[in-house]
Amino acid sequence: MHRQAYRILVINPGSTSTKVAVYQDDALLFADSYSHSAEELAGFEHINDQIDMRRVAVEQALCEHDIDISSLSAVACRGGRLKPMASGTYLVNERMLNDARRGLQGEHASNLACLIGYDISRQAGVEAFVVDPVSVDELDDIARISGLRQIQRNSLSHALNMKAVARKAATDLGRSYEQCRVIVAHVGGGGSISAHAGGRMIDVINCDKEGPFTAERAGGIPALDLVSLCFSGQYSHSEVIRMLVGGGGLMSHLGTKDVREVERRIDAGDSHAELVYEALIYGFSKAIAAMAAALSGDVDVIAVTGGMARSDRLVHGIVERAGFVAPIRVYPGEHEMEALALGVLRVLRNEEMPRVYE
């Protein structure tokens, strides 16, 4: 029997780019990325003010590739900082749109995707969905407890890519995601390390708040020293946040977040750059080993992903330090566009029921 073909528009706004793609079932028709310069973004006080600029990028991509919105079967949107929620594919509804507009768990470009996608879906007469949003929260209760009762650990992470990569790793082992026990390390400008078991992401380290430093995130900082810095009178609240998120990690130590530049300095004999880079690898390796404890040492595979996973030097360093935990497989880059399309495709094919955002 001939299976119906589905055409899916994918919208993924990031901090400095808007990515747009169209899939015909699981086949990519095109994928474009529109960069937004620092000067361009500086003109907007709040993320929500960027919505018209981001929508123009989506409309431009459709126009350039001669895609009529009437040919669309659905719109797949990156999910932002919404309510804590189980993983899955969610129908965009008014509750989600309201939470995205007000930045329920903080401003982030990903919050704009469902707002833009919903408008286009209404014009096309189809549904809009989000898949495995940033706010996916499947933590075990024990993983929520911090050392202060006033502060609870929560789950904000690269859930979309980590879930997709965990599925890929399980498939490569010839097993289902639900059957596998996987550690995923997303290494890039930001970073997340997660433990997966029984089809759930049971613990996660978000490098915006804790864990290893990354290209531009400070990761976990000695708490008492950070308190002293905050109350020193030298920095405002926003300046400290910028140091931790955007100005931390490699950026703080070396003045660049470009791993290729750091590796060029190392090859040219820069011993300080080499030490800092080794510390980055050391930190991620420790976090991976910590996630092995979340899985009681029973780990089938470690999956390393993200932009920095393209570096052979970095991957080799993680293998040397954390390879004792489990075999390591590498999935360079981000697989978000494909994961968004496939999540919606499963719903369109009735292989998975859409979830309702409550």
On the question of pLDDT at 115 being above 80, the answer is yes
pLDDT digits (tens, 9 = 90+) for 202-242: 999 999 999 999 999 999 999 999 999 999 999 999 899 98
The pLDDT value recorded for residue 36 is 81
The pLDDT value recorded for residue 2 is 53
On the question of pLDDT at 38 being above 90, the answer is no
Lay out the sheet containing 328-332: strands in order across: 200-206, 191-197, 182-187, 301-306, 328-332
The pLDDT value recorded for residue 355 is 96
The pLDDT value recorded for residue 44 is 83
The pLDDT value recorded for residue 357 is 95
Question: DSSP states of 144-207 as a string?
Answer: GB-SSTT-B----S-HHHHHHHHHHHHHHTTS-GGG--EEEEEESSSEEEEEEETTEEEEEEET
pLDDT digits (tens, 9 = 90+) for 250-307: 999 999 989 999 999 999 999 999 999 999 999 999 999 999 999 999 999 999 999 9
On the question of pLDDT at 168 being above 80, the answer is yes
Q: Give the CA distances from residue 257 to residues 147, 189, 213, 240, 281, in Å, rounded to whole numbers and listed in that order.
A: 31, 7, 11, 18, 14
Residue 215 to residue 284: CA distance in whole angstroms: 12
CA 292 to chain centre: 21
pLDDT digits (tens, 9 = 90+) for 46-88: 888 899 999 999 999 999 999 999 999 999 999 988 999 999 9
pLDDT average, residue stretch 313-342: 96
- What's this model's pTM, rounded to 2 decimal places? 0.86
By percentage, how much of the chain surpasses pLDDT 90? Answer: 84
**Calculated CA dihedral for residues 178, 140, 297, 219, nearest 10 degrees:** 110
The pLDDT value recorded for residue 251 is 94
The HSE-up count of residue 103 (CA atoms within 13 Å, CB side) is 8
On the question of pLDDT at 3 being above 90, the answer is no
* Angle ∠(31,36,40) on CA atoms, nearest 5: 155
- Helix spans in 4-105 (H): 38-42, 51-64, 94-101
Residue 37 to residue 106: CA distance in whole angstroms: 22
On the question of pLDDT at 21 being above 80, the answer is yes
The pLDDT value recorded for residue 71 is 97
The pLDDT value recorded for residue 246 is 85
The pLDDT value recorded for residue 10 is 98
Q: Give the CA distances from residue 278 to residues 192, 271, 274, 281, 282, in Å, rounded to whole numbers and listed in that order.
A: 18, 10, 6, 5, 6
> In this structure, are residues 215 and 189 in contact, taking their beta carbons and an 8 Å threshold?
yes
> In this structure, are residues 67 and 22 in contact, taking their beta carbons and an 8 Å threshold?
yes
pLDDT average, residue stretch 311-330: 98
Q: What is the mean pLDDT of the chain?
A: 94
